[in-house]
């Protein structure tokens, strides 16, 4: 197999407290550009004690075997893919994750979260996210920055390699 380019688009939505559905009335998730001060250029601002739904679209469609999240402490937890669909536009996967076990980050500190996607062909995509966790009632800090619509990743899968390379990352 030669080098293959594919795209991943990640959306993150707040869920209702019971985790039953997306909470359209909740404040939108925001991000800010931190430049070179931390490992990643952009930081997501997330309240603790909150349920989230992640929607990931893969174009062209590629079947996913499993999704795990590597937490702040380095623990890797499997997440249940709750919905998946495929069309000529791409494959869509969704899963839920919560911040109940997270603590607010101190000033000038960031947390790391990594979404690991294992495709059916054993190729792996590791999506690193940089997060600043806030108390749920810290609305001012949570809303500073730009509202997140999605994050686009252009990825490359090279022959003989089992891990994809992220070529470009764009926060919109």
Residue range 140-167, pLDDT digits in tens: 999 999 999 999 999 999 988 999 999 9
Provide the residue range defining the domain that includes 94.
4-171
Q: Is 47 exposed, middle or buried (0-12, 13-18, 19+ CB in 10 A)?
A: buried
Q: Provide the CA 5 distance to its chain's centre, in angstroms.
A: 20
Work out the average pLDDT over 93-117: 94
- Residue 81 or residue 172, greater confidence: 172
Is 90 exceeded by the pLDDT of residue 101? no
Work out the average pLDDT over 8-37: 94
Count the domains in the chain: 1
Work out the average pLDDT over 21-36: 94
CATH number for the domain harbouring residue 12? 2.70.50
**Rounded Cα gap, residues 22 and 13, in angstroms:** 6
pLDDT value for 120: 93
Q: What is the pTM of this model?
A: 0.92
pLDDT value for 165: 97
Strand partners, 57: 9, 92
Work out the average pLDDT over 77-96: 87
């Amino acid at each position: 197999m030669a080098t293959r380019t594919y795209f991943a688009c990640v959306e993150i939505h707040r869920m209702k407290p019971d985790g039953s559905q997306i909470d359209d009335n909740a404040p939108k998730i925001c991000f800010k550009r931190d430049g070179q001060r931390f490992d990643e250029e952009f930081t997501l601002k997330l309240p603790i004690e909150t349920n989230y739904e992640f929607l990931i679209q893969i174009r062209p469609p590629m079947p996913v075997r499993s999704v795990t999240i590597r937490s702040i402490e380095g623990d890797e937890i499997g997440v249940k893919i709750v919905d998946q669909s495929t069309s000529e536009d791409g494959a869509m996967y969704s899963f839920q994750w919560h911040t109940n076990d997270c603590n607010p980050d101190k000033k000038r500190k960031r947390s790391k979260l990594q979404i690991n996607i294992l495709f059916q062909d054993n190729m792996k995509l590791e999506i690193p996210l940089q997060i600043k966790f806030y108390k749920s009632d810290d609305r001012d800090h949570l809303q500073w920055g730009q509202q997140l619509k999605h994050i686009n990743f252009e990825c490359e899968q090279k022959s003989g390699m089992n891990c994809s390379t992220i070529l470009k990352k764009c926060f919109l």
